[in-house]
Chains A and B, each alone.
Chain A
Amino acid sequence: MLSALLLQSGYNAALVAIGAALLGFAAGMVGTFVNLRRRALVSDAMAHATLPGIGLGFLAMVALGGEGRALPGLLAGAALTAALGLWAVQALTRTRLTEDAAIAAVLSTFYGAGIVILTVIQTLGAGKPAGLETVLLGSTAGMLEMDAITLAIGGALVLAVLAVLRRALVMTAFDPGHAAMMGIRTRAMDTALMLLTLAVVLLGLRVVGLILIVALLVIPAAAARLWSDRAGVVAMIAGGIGAAAGHIGAALSATVPDLPTGPVIVLLCFAAFALSLILSPKRGLLRRLGHAG
């Protein structure tokens, strides 16, 4: 375990640990803005809506004569149906449906469609669908150098965009009316935030999986909020918590056979949240108990 943490248990395990840490950092940072703009559940619906796209991407590639496992093809399909899911949530919210009902309907429908497509694929016997289901809960076992490099480049891009837009995103989340009057295009900012979230979801498919990626977005940010009253600082702390959870989680699952990576990372995020809840200087339970006594 210790050797895995220190990146000394083999080249592949080191790649996975670094990749997971990068993903955790990007997810924690983006998640801070998702929380501030109250888009946590929308991002969950978007993550679940990637599943039918992964199946369709596989089928499209098989139809074109491939094995159907090329990652770019799967990601393109995932992005397509995720965007469709996001659009569906927005379209349903414009009817009399409330947003939470629209999210629940889209999340379950898209996920159901995805499971049906994956089941059909298993019975078709075309292409090589083995391992396709790992996108559900993540599996770092088969991660290659290519995957780690994709994570590094993708994560760096996400963070670069975030660095440029951070003030505009914070102002849009805090007071959209004022932000618009200061010349910020708030709708463009909301779209940018959703694209950043989508990027994190796609990057996280192999590591955490689409069912639990929302936890990596939301929980580190919620934990970090307990430590600071400044949005920028909250984002940095959330990135740190996400990175630590990703790194330790990947190391654990590399050490213990058959331990699912995604759930382990999520539980580590929750542990960080629980600790923050107890220890936070201003809002912590310990401090409150101290006041009571």
Chain B
Amino acid sequence: MVEPIPLTAEPALAIRDLRVSYGANPVLDGVTASLARGAMTAIIGPNGAGKSTLLKAALGLIPSLGGTALAFGKPVGQALPPIAYVPQRAAVDWDFPARALDVVLMGMYRRTGLLGRIGKAETTAAMECLSRLGMADFATRQIGALSGGQQQRVFLARALAQGAELYLLDEPFAGVDAATEAAIVTLLKSLRDEGRSIVAVHHDLSTVSAYFDRVLLLNRRTIAEGPVATTFRQEAVARTYGNQIATAIPA
């Protein structure tokens, strides 16, 4: 089981001077950010700003040239159990021979281990996670036969099964319909209300204020970071996106 995280003032994810480049091109040029615990944070920035790269590099999934990432005050490598990462939908092979239940069971690998067999207890726990997302009826569906929103929910169920405290989501709303988007937001907010921390790469500027508590404005470096009400302003967003000024944002 995952140990409970002591309630201290440590941020959910503290990134310092993180640098990544693909070939000669710097993608993250010394990003420093502190993502608050128990909040829903959106990572916003133009294409190529390094949003997905930031998540992957912070988790050590891709090599970085320098910098550190601490989750709950501990180096991410040691703090992995309570962290869940939900990849972009496009990054997943949906033709893979796995049912929704099988994917959720993957979230319990730390419990079952190398030789561990999946018994009744694990299956029951996985089904509970699926139920929580309204996906119990789809447990035995092959994942490719699910809609985009249902697929997203299966990955969130896997994160629940993992017992995660920090959820990193890469564009959770890409390619899902409005009803599913609303359902996912409701779920994420209920997770946050239980004290969990949510970080999502987000593209739709018009929904930032409705969905999120905090924003991280990113364009290879941190442009601004803070509560939506004070940070998500036209001037800062314009600086993030270069010249493309988003007129929908309050000045």
Contact = CB atoms under 8 A, between A and B. Distances in A.
Interface in B71-117: 80-81, 83-85, 87, 92-93, 96-99, 102-103, 106-107, 109-110, 112, 114-115
B59 interface: yes
B248 interface: no
Interface residues of B, number: 28
A181 B85 contact: yes
B98 A174 contact: yes
A168 interface: yes
Contacts of A167: 109, 112, 114
Contacts of A170: 98
Interface string A221-249: 00001001111011000000000000000
Contact of B106 (A182, A225, A229, A233): A182
Given A167-B114, A229-B142, A178 B85 contact: yes
A165 B113 CA distance: 10
Given A167-B114, A177-B59, A177-B61, A183 B96 contact: no
Interface string B38-70: 000000000000000000100111000000000
A157 interface: no
A230 B80 contact: no
6 contacts: A164-B115, A167-B112, A177-B61, A180-B60, A182-B109, A183-B109
Interface of A: 36, 164-165, 167-168, 170-171, 173-175, 177-184, 225, 228-231, 233-234
Given A177-B61, A183-B109, 13 more contacts: A168-B109, A177-B85, A177-B87, A178-B85, A178-B158, A181-B59, A181-B84, A182-B110, A182-B162, A183-B81, A225-B97, A229-B99, A230-B98
A280 B185 CA distance: 39
B87 A183 contact: no
A29 to B, nearest CB: 14
Contacts of B158: 178
A230 B97 contact: yes
Interface-centre pick from B93, B109, B110 (highest chain A CB count, 10 A): B109
A167 to B, nearest CB: 7
Q: Is the interface of A mostly helix, strand, loop or mixed?
A: helix
What 9 A-B pairs come out closest when comparing CB atoms? A229-B142, A182-B109, A231-B97, A177-B61, A234-B97, A229-B97, A181-B80, A174-B96, A171-B106
Given A229-B142, A230-B99, A231-B102, A175 B109 contact: no
A199 B55 CA distance: 38
Nearest to B106: A171
A175 B106 contact: yes
A174 B106 contact: yes
B237 to A, nearest CB: 29
A247 to B, nearest CB: 25
B114 A165 contact: yes
B129 to A, nearest CB: 15
B177 to A, nearest CB: 24
Contacts of B92: 174-175
B61 A180 contact: yes
B216 to A, nearest CB: 20
Contacts of A228: 97
A104 to B, nearest CB: 24
Contacts of A230: 97-99, 102
A174 B87 CA distance: 11
A180 B80 CA distance: 9
A228 B97 CA distance: 7
A181 B106 CA distance: 11
Contacts of B56: 177
Nearest to B62: A177
A171 B96 CA distance: 11
A174 to B, nearest CB: 5
A182 B92 CA distance: 17
Given A177-B59, A180-B61, A181-B83, A229 B98 contact: yes
Contacts of B103: 174
A228 B98 CA distance: 9
A175 B103 CA distance: 10
A168 B80 CA distance: 17
B80 A183 contact: yes
A219 to B, nearest CB: 16
Nearest to A165: B114
A184 B112 CA distance: 12
Nearest to B140: A229
Contacts of A233: 97
A181 to B, nearest CB: 5
A255 to B, nearest CB: 36
